[in-house]
Amino acid sequence: MEKKNTLQLVKLSLGEVLDVMVRGSGRSWEEVGALVGWGPSNLSRIRDKAEDYWPSLPNIGAFCLHTRSTLILDWIKASAEAGGLRRDFESLDCQGLLFSLGGLFRELGDVARECERAVADNNINKTNARRLIRELFDVIEKAMEAVAGLRGAAGWGGDGEG
């Protein structure tokens, strides 16, 4: 039986979710901001880690459209189901960071093995693609766990600072 892989969205801050969406779109922040209709000062406030500034509700749909992602909607839903936004993230110590990165490297190894199997016949079929997607979500989750744990060391706190 295969495990169901889901990204632990409640471990991400708003800034991290928005950044993942922009990076995944293949566009720059400036390009996405222009398409959404944000001026430079608005874009700067949304991206500023020290601000607790959110995009306005009418702009979320346009942001999703122009980043080709609904991750922020999934994040809001996951946060609501968890009882609200997390603002207190646990900080990693040195040993925790090493264990966290070890888990990330194990997941990367899993992706590499699955990729080798997927391309062995020089064809990526639906089953292989779905398996690779699940493995890549595991990598993303492990990476975001490390990011969440490093917030304290970076001097970042809650949702506006990721």
87: in domain: no
Residue 14 pLDDT more than 80? yes
CA dihedral 25, 9, 81, 150 (to 10 degrees): -140
Q: Give the other-Cβ count within 10 Å of 49's Cβ.
A: 15
77 plus 133 within the same structural domain: no
4: in domain: no
pLDDT bucket at 4, cuts 50 / 70 / 90 = very low
Q: Residue 69 belongs to what domain range?
A: 9-81
Each residue's pLDDT tens digit, 89-133: 567 788 888 888 898 999 899 899 999 988 998 888 888 888 888
Query: 47 with 15: CB under 8 angstroms?
Result: yes
66 plus 100 within the same structural domain: no
3: in domain: no
Give the chain's domain count: 2
108 plus 47 within the same structural domain: no
77 plus 38 within the same structural domain: yes
Q: In Å, what is the CA distance from 39 to each residue of 46, 47, 75? A: 11, 12, 25
What pLDDT was estimated at residue 105? 92
38: in domain: yes
Instruction: Report which of residues 84 and 57 the model is more confident about.
Output: 57
65 plus 107 within the same structural domain: no
Least confident piece of the model among 66-70, 125-129, 141-145, 156-160: 156-160
Q: Which residues contact 49 (CB under 8 A, 6 or more apart)?
A: 15, 156, 160, 161, 162
Alpha helix locations (H) across the chain? 14-25, 29-36, 40-47, 57-67, 71-81, 94-119, 126-154
User: Which CATH number belongs to the domain containing residue 52 in this structure?
Assistant: 1.10.260.40
2: in domain: no
104 plus 77 within the same structural domain: no
116 plus 76 within the same structural domain: no
Q: What is the pTM of this model?
A: 0.58
What pLDDT was estimated at residue 86? 55
89: in domain: no
16 plus 77 within the same structural domain: yes
29: in domain: yes
What pLDDT was estimated at residue 65? 94
Instruction: Report which of residues 51 and 81 the model is more confident about.
Output: 81
